[in-house]
Structure 1
């Protein structure tokens, strides 16, 4: 239980842009798709993804998505996940 609490706190360190990128990853979008939709460069998106992975303490995008599903309690992210997954 303590581990889940610590995991949940990591999400509060994400900036709004990093939260947006994480939500796009949750929706299954690639870095190139995110760059195209948000009209930002691919290196910028990759930089945001690296920041998300570092702040969450994971080594892959898949691990970040799994952690979000398992432990995220940030209201903004939860609302976006609900919209993505329609629940």
Structure 2
């Protein structure tokens, strides 16, 4: 059972999201919050697996709350859900440790699938922002030589796993491609994130693109 907390300042939106998510027998909404401060308090109290985090909320917005969460040991995974298609929100959310970014007009079944994807340790982005995201970071301040130097910390097997992640493969897909178990792939991804000081799969995929290895 995936335990979910919904953080949004509009009660009607929270009710709608709750109804959508709880139509899936594998998901349980255990708490709601109307702003970032309340979200952090509810997370401490209820320890959800996944947080649906709105961006624009009073007192403490979703981006700032996500940044604070990224420093917590055993923090839940954050799926940012917003109406705002602005590149800087996407970049900031991912840099702050979010594992995914979707828009509120995402079809219900896609939202349910996204929660399962996030809970499984994978990352997810709205298709409309993925290309812009990769292009932005590939042209960013980290040049190819710097990115390649960072990747030298990885073993050959870890570099193979990273390439699979950068191609958008799930753990199951990577396991089939590399003839390994899903548990082994998950362990490799965790080790890669530790070595590269990354907080989610999107960040390591971006680094692979910067190094031009993907």
> How does the TM-score come out when normalised to structure 2?
0.31
Deviation at 1:6, TM superposition (A): 5.4
Residue deviations 1:43-84, cap 9 Å, x none? 1000110111111110000011112223x2xxxxx4x52xxx
1:39 aligns with 2:179: yes
Structure 1: runs of 5+ lacking an equivalent: 73-77, 82-87
Of the two structures, which has the highest relative contact order with CA contacts closer than 8 Å and spacing of 6 or more?
1
Query: Is the 1:7–1:56 Cα contact (8 Å) retained in structure 2?
Result: no
Residue 194 of structure 2 corresponds to: 54
* In structure 2, distance between residues paired with 1:44 and 1:64: 17
Largest Rg, 1 or 2: 2
* Cα RMSD after superposing both structures: 2.1
* In structure 2, distance between residues paired with 1:11 and 1:46: 18
Deviation at 1:8, TM superposition (A): 4.0
Residue 18 of structure 2 corresponds to: none
Q: Which secondary structure does the structure 2 equivalent of 1:13 belong to? A: coil
In terms of fraction of residues, the more strand-rich structure is 2
> How does the TM-score come out when normalised to structure 1?
0.70
Structure 2: runs of 5+ lacking an equivalent: 1-141
Residue 168 of structure 2 corresponds to: 28
Q: Would the alpha carbon gap of residues 55 and 39 (structure 1) be closer, same or farther in structure 2, given more than 3 Å must change?
A: same
Pairwise mapping of residues 1-87 of structure 1 onto structure 2 (< 5 A)?
Answer: 7-70=147-210, 72=211, 78=212, 80-81=213-214
Deviation at 1:25, TM superposition (A): 0.9
Residue 75 of structure 1 corresponds to: none
* In structure 2, distance between residues paired with 1:34 and 1:56: 19
Aligned length: 73
